[in-house]
């Protein structure tokens, strides 16, 4: 795909910048706009051909966001005042349009080099500059490097024997063709039932002749209260947006709602179920991060929620054996400790004669043949098209992918081999003048993206501005505070049920990856307070040279 902007200075070799941003999704766009306003010379490199980050790559059938309006957008009045969504939970097409609109009103693209893949970056202490190289042979220098690469930039494809021999069409969800994949009259397969798999399954169950779903662990999906939203309805609410955007910064999950001040165990079961029913009727993530305060800490409360959820699902399924696979009597892991998806008619699809469910928990996929998928029991499941929805080397993989090296020349992959180390989920020793929003050891995976991204980005901007005022050559995290932050991340996780689930939150989905909590579990307000106090107190834990 060719860049559709003129190849001006942005595409030049030997750029010398104040700030280089990598990634043109929510973080990259916000930082570009705000840093440029503050007077810095900023450019963005992005591997795709347009704005939107994950929303450009993950354009698989049914892809849509699980955060409802207006949580999942910028709080910038210059964007929201004249922008109108069509659905309460917008799909990928609308999100791409939203980013194009941001480009239009914020005048972004003149500073973005698309189709540009960063393949190396290292800080030079002597010059006080990052040296960043790209796959097409360009080099840029910048005083500050801001990786804005999100948590899902490195896809995971299991190492199946014969993968290359498949004669039909096969696509990973995050590398989906921009043209339609026509499955009408075809036998399709979806491997994986995370948030992605759920969404593809809903579409392909309707569009293809036969669909076979390969499920390893059931997803505990919540009913999505999807609906059309009118321009008038949104316009009438816009005066409330400043208040709503403030509210989303004050909740655990970065939404306009929060956990209730109530433990599941304090109520009798009828009261608990009545409360859960009221959340269920919302049709959103209140049923996940807006429920009992002890949902992720107390096994009893957690089981109350699981049983309620199960009762909602089982009643929709005709075949008890299928019901037991999709919503087993005994929970496979504590409720909500793997990311639940929102679904519209996912469970209903399994009542159709053309939809088949194969559990690969104890009967894994062992080989891909030219005409289908072979499971350990020797059965060949013949298919024409495969969607690989097996997720990501999440959070850490995105940054490792950039081939970052510390000032000693050690690759980030090797530095994080035995465990992630960052300071405040924002910076790292050996990587001076590098800050990363929405990365590891921040609340990233438990928080609505735009909320956290704006808070962290504002912190980064203030730190850079102050450093420039004070004539600082570079800012670098120190080792001891980094170790303490890593311990803090583990301590927070150990007080919860999250470590009991084999999730990508714990790095458990990637063979050989260290099992550890990858995100900060203290909630957004505590996190924001910590980083803001650090900044206002003169950045303790950082060395300023």
Rounded Cα distance, 437 and 456, in Å: 6
Check residue 510 for interaction with ligand N01 (CB under 6 A). Answer: no
What residues between 328 and 347 interact with ligand N01 by CB under 6 A?
339
Among 216, 405, 513, 535, binds ligand N01 (CB under 6 A): 216
Residue 202 CB, nearest approach to ligand N01 (Å) = 11
Query: What torsion do the CA atoms of 322, 327, 333, 335 make, to the nearest 10 degrees?
Result: 160
- DSSP for 11-72 reads G-SSEEEEEEEE--SHHHHHHHHHHHHTT--EEEE-SSSSS-THHHH---TT-B-SSPTTTS
Residue 33 in tokens: 């706009």
Taking Cα atoms as reference points, which of 97, 85, 75, 82 lies closest to residue 30?
A: 75
Cβ neighbours around 68 below 10 Å, total: 27
Check residue 360 for interaction with ligand N01 (CB under 6 A). Answer: yes
Looking at the Cβ atoms of 194 and 507, the one nearer to ligand N01 is 194
What residues between 65 and 94 interact with ligand N01 by CB under 6 A?
65-66
Taking Cα atoms as reference points, which of 271, 351, 344 lies closest to residue 308?
A: 271
Looking at the Cβ atoms of 362 and 536, the one nearer to ligand N01 is 362
Taking Cα atoms as reference points, which of 251, 237, 287, 239 lies closest to residue 448?
A: 251
Looking at the Cβ atoms of 91 and 264, the one nearer to ligand N01 is 91
Residue 430 CB, nearest approach to ligand N01 (Å) = 29
Check residue 194 for interaction with ligand N01 (CB under 6 A). Answer: yes
Taking Cα atoms as reference points, which of 164, 167, 158, 132 lies closest to residue 21?
A: 132
Give the strand pairing for 475-477 and 542-544: antiparallel
Check residue 225 for interaction with ligand N01 (CB under 6 A). Answer: no
Looking at the Cβ atoms of 37 and 93, the one nearer to ligand N01 is 93
**Residue 120: is it exposed, middle or buried by C-beta count within 10 angstroms (0-12/13-18/19+)?**
middle
Check residue 120 for interaction with ligand N01 (CB under 6 A). Answer: no
Check residue 390 for interaction with ligand N01 (CB under 6 A). Answer: yes
Nearest residue to ligand N01, using CB? 194
Taking Cα atoms as reference points, which of 138, 72, 83 lies closest to residue 106?
A: 83
Among 252, 446, 504, 542, binds ligand N01 (CB under 6 A): 504
Check residue 217 for interaction with ligand N01 (CB under 6 A). Answer: yes
Check residue 152 for interaction with ligand N01 (CB under 6 A). Answer: yes
Looking at the Cβ atoms of 251 and 390, the one nearer to ligand N01 is 390
Looking at the Cβ atoms of 389 and 404, the one nearer to ligand N01 is 389
Rounded Cα distance, 403 and 412, in Å: 7
Q: Which residue has the tokens 């599941």?
A: 264
Window of 286-294, 372-380, 387-395, 486-494 that interacts with ligand N01 by CB under 6 A: 387-395
Give yes or no for a contact between 65 and 49, defined as CB atoms under 8 angstroms apart: no
Window of 64-72, 119-127, 311-319, 446-454 that interacts with ligand N01 by CB under 6 A: 64-72
Check residue 226 for interaction with ligand N01 (CB under 6 A). Answer: no
Looking at the Cβ atoms of 464 and 510, the one nearer to ligand N01 is 510
Name the residues that contact ligand N01, by CB under 6 A.
Answer: 64-66, 152, 158, 173, 191-197, 214, 216-217, 339, 360, 365, 389-392, 504, 509
């Amino acid at each position: 795909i060719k860049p559709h902007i003129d190849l001006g200075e942005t595409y030049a070799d030997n750029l010398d910048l104040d700030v280089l941003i990598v990634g043109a999704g929510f973080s990259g766009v916000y930082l570009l706009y705000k840093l440029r306003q503050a007077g810095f010379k900023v450019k963005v490199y992005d591997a795709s051909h347009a704005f939107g980050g994950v929303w450009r790559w993950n354009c698989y059938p049914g892809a849509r966001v699980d955060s409802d309006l207006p949580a999942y957008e910028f709080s910038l009045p210059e964007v929201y005042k004249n922008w109108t969504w069509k659905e309460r939970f917008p799909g990928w097409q609308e999100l791409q349009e939203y980013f194009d609109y941001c480009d239009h009103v914020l005048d972004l693209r003149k500073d973005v080099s698309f189709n540009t893949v960063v393949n190396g970056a290292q800080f030079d202490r002597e010059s006080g500059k990052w040296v960043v190289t790209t796959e097409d042979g360009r080099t840029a220098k910048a005083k500050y490097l801001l990786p804005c690469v999100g948590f899902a930039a490195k896809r995971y494809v299991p190492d199946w024997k014969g993968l290359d021999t498949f004669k039909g069409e096969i696509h990973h969800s995050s590398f989906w063709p921009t043209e339609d994949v026509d499955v009408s009259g075809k036998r399709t397969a979806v491997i994986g039932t995370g948030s992605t798999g759920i969404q593809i399954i809903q579409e392909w169950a309707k569009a293809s002749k036969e669909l076979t779903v390969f499920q390893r662990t059931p997803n505990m999906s919540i009913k999505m209260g999807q609906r059309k939203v009118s321009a008038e309805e949104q316009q009438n609410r816009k005066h409330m947006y400043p208040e709503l955007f403030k509210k989303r910064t004050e909740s655990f999950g970065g939404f306009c709602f929060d956990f209730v001040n109530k433990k599941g165990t304090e109520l009798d079961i009828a009261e608990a179920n009545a409360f859960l029913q009221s959340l269920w009727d919302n049709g959103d993530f209140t049923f996940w991060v807006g429920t009992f305060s002890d949902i992720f800490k107390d096994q009893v409360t957690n089981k109350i929620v699981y049983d309620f959820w199960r009762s909602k699902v089982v009643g929709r399924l005709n075949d008890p054996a299928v019901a037991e696979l999709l919503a087993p009597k005994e929970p496979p892991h504590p409720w909500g400790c793997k990311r639940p998806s929102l679904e519209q008619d996912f469970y209903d699809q399994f009542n159709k004669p053309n939809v088949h469910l194969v559990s690969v928990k104890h009967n894994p996929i062992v080989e891909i043949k030219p005409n289908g998928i072979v499971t350990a029991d020797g059965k060949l499941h013949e298919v024409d098209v495969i969607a690989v929805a097996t997720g990501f080397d999440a959070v850490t993989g995105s940054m490792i992918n950039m081939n970052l090296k510390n000032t000693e020349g050690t690759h980030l992959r090797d530095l994080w081999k035995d465990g992630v180390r960052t300071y405040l989920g924002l910076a790292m020793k050996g990587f001076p003048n590098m800050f990363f929003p929405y990365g590891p050891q921040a609340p990233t995976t438990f928080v609505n993206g735009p909320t956290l991204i704006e808070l962290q980005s504002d912190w980064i901007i203030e730190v850079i501005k102050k450093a420039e005022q004070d004539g600082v050559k570079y800012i670098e995290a120190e080792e001891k505070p980094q170790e303490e932050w890593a311990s803090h991340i583990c301590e927070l996780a150990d007080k919860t049920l999250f470590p009991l689930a084999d999730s990508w939150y714990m790095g458990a989905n990637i063979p050989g990856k260290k099992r550890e909590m990858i995100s900060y579990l203290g909630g957004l307000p505590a996190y924001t307070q910590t980083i803001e106090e650090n900044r206002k107190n003169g950045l303790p834990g950082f060395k300023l040279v």
